[in-house]
Structure 1
């Protein structure tokens, strides 16, 4: 009497999975990784990640930029001025440490930007005079003048308007996405995709809160752009799952969970490649933004998109499809088909 070499189960554990190296299993895509089978563990992991991120958002909050908090920005040609000295001069003149001091731009276009709370006209005049006396900045025509120091103010309501419009755009986007996926595939896939997108938003925001990255309007815009990447990856996986499960109710060879797990494995290497290809240009953008151009907006966009791409890949592979299986297993037809597959296997093992 022989014993079957492997037995697939209702949970979606891989059947007959290859036992080669990690890369062999990744490239073969024959169900070597029991992602669906371990969905309960993945739910716990996901819940822990979300809980940590929400706790940080609630108790630690965000480091908002001047566009959200409101304030005054002073700027002058960078020259060879030390940022710490610039901060000290401004602090002495207004009696308060500036929020940020940074050098942006490249070459002769480099400037020092100082962000502070809202300053009165007298405080702005005092700060500019102190900076001029200490650093003697020159205008475009080469003459040393206090006019070389610029100032601008930003109302905190502007950042609030950006956030409000972004939230409206996010809501409309999620409604459209749900409708499209429900029409193209089915409502269970649409629900799983929306949950994955919400996970991306919460996790990316939580990482910003935990690490303390500054939140700017560019960050909010970048957060919306990463949802498209995450959705693309999820739809690719779902398309493969649909292909594998087409006509499943009329067969008794594999359960829905097993076919879904196979679909994730078949697209896993593609997801990894897409993530790497997406992250590499963003790393290059960070290098250009920080070391060459010194443009803060580019850095903000690059960081939020890098974080979002990684979380989006995680949610597409380890959350969306396992959640889809949990939802589909509530379908009476799927439950009957699963029972038929398991009964057939038990009968085959008994005969063997």
Structure 2
């Protein structure tokens, strides 16, 4: 399953009336987003700060070397332009952008070798780290000269697999390999940048290189060093997402497990809603934390009310799965995913909630 396969970037949409109070789970006013192409399997949302719109889409069976191809479009004003990508590439749709001229994608060719690609406004450029063992799995772009990526350093003969953090300074990647005991492995899946001295990454650390005996793993950068922020004991598995509104309001999730850091310690905040199999994504909206979910029921959105997760009605009235969330710089919330029918068919959707009114 692709983690992220399509992107819509929109700005300046119609103002929507949000009648729901902060502690209510009523349905807010969703605006459906137009798509440049309807022939795809899964969409995702990625607002760009300069008002452009980008759109990514997984298309099946469109090349001879692989079953999946990801196509990308960029919208400026009302015109769509496809950013022609390598046709033999099937990536995970892991991307970040700061403008129409600064668009980053973590990809893989023939489901094997990882790569980093950058759209400069005219063409794609290769931005692979010099160390070929580095495998980036998460990405966060602050500016064209400040991009962070996390992942693992893996080779066929590795006796240990350290987690890695990469920083792009506009010219090259500086890669840091985290300390790793022989025979073990660490993999970072997500990164959150609050400031140059407050960066968080989350994933897993394991006692073997196969990744079969693992526990959640969180590290923080203070501007000089990466240090582990120990999670509660007794947890197993991996963390897939980290989001934050500062060093004393950090959330990490993986499976149905959720942890909140208040600046001094962690609090468990697992999700127990009916049918939910795992978290898909997290984003803040109007001061509250929203979650997109993998769910076998008609609910694929939730909101943390300060005490527990509560179901929230989304932009589709039937079952949705794997919903992705992104908060734009203006405070609007963007969502995308796929609807699921009783007969097993699926259809992509994308929508947004307008930014809260000023004042």
| TM-score, with structure 1 as normaliser | 0.22
**Whose relative contact order is higher, 1 or 2, with alpha carbons under 8 Å and at least 6 apart?**
1
Q: Which has the higher strand share?
A: 2
| TM-score, with structure 2 as normaliser | 0.22
Q: Which has the higher helix share?
A: 1
Larger radius of gyration: 1
